Amino acid sequence: MLKYPDPWQLAFALLLTWGLLALIFIDAEQQILPDVITLPLMWLGIVAACVQGGLFIGLRESVIGAMVGYLSLWSVYWLFRLVTGKEGMGYGDFKLLALLCAWQGIVMLPFILFFSALTGIVFALINRIGYGVPMAFGPYLAIAGWLTFMYGGEIAAITGLSL
């Protein structure tokens, strides 16, 4: 059984999936998340919120999600920069989280951040990547975002959240 049997939902979900796959491979190899992919995907999430009264979430949730998603990592970036004098991540990561929250709203934001950090830490430990070595965060955000997009209902049920 398909997760999204509605043809519109399926079409939009496939576009998101393909876009996230492209971002995963590009960021893993080049440590860049191209605006030419992230920004249209964010807007596509907002458009999906307008189709049939909201394919996945409502328009208000989508727009607020995009703004809060962007600002959450932007705040972490600036706090880290003020404390250390170094840049801890790139602006592409902010845009990627904005696009993920445009599709899912802010309710999934803590889970996306938790699962992406956990995935990145596990990857770094397995590959023995030392502290201070630059590592792309986008692939872990994209993986966590896709998992919460596909299994958000199950995650909410386990944690007691209502979507």
What is the number of other CB atoms lying within 10 angstroms of the CB of residue 84? 9
Q: Is residue 133 in a domain?
A: yes
Total structural domains within the chain: 1
**For residue 163, what pLDDT band results from cuts at 50, 70 and 90?**
low
Q: Is residue 115 in a domain?
A: yes
Which residues form the domain of 40?
Answer: 7-159
Tokens of 41: 């995907």
Distance CA 129, CA 120 (A): 10
Q: Is residue 1 in a domain?
A: no
Q: Which residue has the higher pLDDT, 163 or 17?
A: 17
Q: Which residue has the higher pLDDT, 50 or 123?
A: 50
Distance CA 39, CA 27 (A): 15
Q: Is residue 48 in a domain?
A: yes
**For residue 128, what pLDDT band results from cuts at 50, 70 and 90?**
confident
pTM across the whole model: 0.91
Q: Once rounded to an integer, what is the mean pLDDT over residues 91-116?
A: 96
Greatest mean pLDDT range, 78-92, 95-109, 112-126: 95-109
What is the number of other CB atoms lying within 10 angstroms of the CB of residue 10? 14
Mean pLDDT of the chain: 92
Output helix, strand, coil percentages for the chain, rounded to the nearest 5: 75, 0, 25
Q: Is residue 2 in a domain?
A: no
Termini Cα distance of the chain: 22
Q: Is residue 109 in a domain?
A: yes
Q: Is residue 152 in a domain?
A: yes
